[in-house]
């Protein structure tokens, strides 16, 4: 029987690209997103590759909705082998002292609580079934400090701790947990942020040694490698994919 993956934030960007890349490997996909249109588009594209997929609408900041997407995946496919814990938002780009408290709560709710809830419920299934592989989406802002994204950066640093601590507790139970730390990448979320903060795009591109943004397809290739059997002895790592961006900081 082919493997099963849950992808949060699967309706666009890194999530959608990873769904399509995993589908090329025959992996069945549960696409999770708050955006029904984007989520269903990903499902249709996966099915066009000859692989089964479902869409589950969920607000990952709510624990009951996270449990729902886990339960529905198990109901549909019988197991969970891979989890790309990817849903996230960046925020307005305002300096921290100018940031509204509601925005802080929303970013923490989606980026941190959503990731914690996801690992909590998915890992429970995986450990019961003898193991599985998780990739958390951190960020370049999760390994260095960056201005205008203080709350986002705090949540992405937290995912590094989540990754390492889960390995310390559950590697013996067959769980692998790694994180990726993408630099600026050509996703809808990054485009929205740069459209609102055009000087930040210029700054980002000039600060990347390769002088370009990354692509979702490049990140999907890394995620697929980390999730699948090709990376069995890689555990607790935070892998940067940023064209050398954080290497210069």
Q: What's the predicted TM-score (pTM) here?
A: 0.95
For the chain, the structural domain boundaries read 4-239
Catalytic residue, from 82, 121, 152, 170: name it. Answer: 152
1 has a pLDDT exceeding 90: no
Query: CATH 3.40.50.720: does it fit domain 4-239?
Result: yes
Q: What HEC string does the chain produce? A: CCCEEEEECCCCHHHHHHHHHHHHCCCEEEEEECCHHHHHHHHHHHHHCCCCEEEEECCCCCHHHHHHHHHHHHHHHCCCCEEEECCCCCCCCCCHHHCCHHHHHHHHHHHHHHHHHHHHHHHHHHHHCCCEEEEEECCHHHCCCCCCCHHHHHHHHHHHHHHHHHHHHHHHHCEEEEEEEECCECCHHHHHHHHHCHHHHHHHHHHCCCCCCECHHHHHHHHHHHHCHHHCCCCCCEEEECCCCHHHC
* Known catalytic residue at 152: yes
Stretch 23-28: mean pLDDT: 98
For residue range 212-234, list pLDDT tens digits in order: 889 999 999 999 999 998 999 99
Stretch 87-109: mean pLDDT: 96
């Amino acid at each position: 029987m082919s493997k099963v993956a849950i992808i949060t934030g699967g309706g666009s960007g890194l999530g959608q690209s990873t769904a399509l890349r995993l589908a090329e490997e025959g992996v069945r996909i549960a696409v999770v997103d708050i955006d029904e249109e984007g989520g269903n588009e990903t499902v249709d594209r996966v099915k066009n590759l000859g692989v089964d997929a479902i869409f589950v609408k969920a607000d990952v900041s709510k624990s009951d909705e996270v449990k729902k997407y886990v339960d529905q995946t198990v109901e549909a496919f019988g197991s969970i082998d891979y989890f790309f814990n990817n849903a996230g938002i960046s925020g307005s780009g305002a300096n921290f002292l100018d940031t509204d408290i509601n925005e802080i709560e929303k970013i923490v709710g989606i980026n941190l609580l959503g990731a914690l809830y996801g690992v909590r419920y998915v890992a429970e299934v995986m450990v019961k079934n003898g193991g599985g592989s998780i990739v958390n989406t951190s960020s370049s802002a999760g390994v260095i400090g960056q201005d205008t994204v203080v709350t986002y950066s705090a949540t992405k640093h937290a995912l590094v701790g989540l990754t390492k601590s889960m390995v310390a507790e559950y590697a013996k139970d067959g769980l692998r947990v790694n994180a990726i730390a993408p630099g600026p990448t050509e996703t809808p979320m990054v485009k929205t942020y740069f459209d609102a903060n055009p000087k930040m795009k210029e700054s980002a591109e000039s600060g990347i040694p390769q002088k370009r943004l990354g692509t979702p397809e490049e990140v999907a290739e890394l995620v697929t490698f980390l999730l699948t059997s090709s990376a069995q002895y890689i555990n607790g790592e935070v892998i940067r994919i940023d064209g050398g961006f954080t290497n210069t900081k």
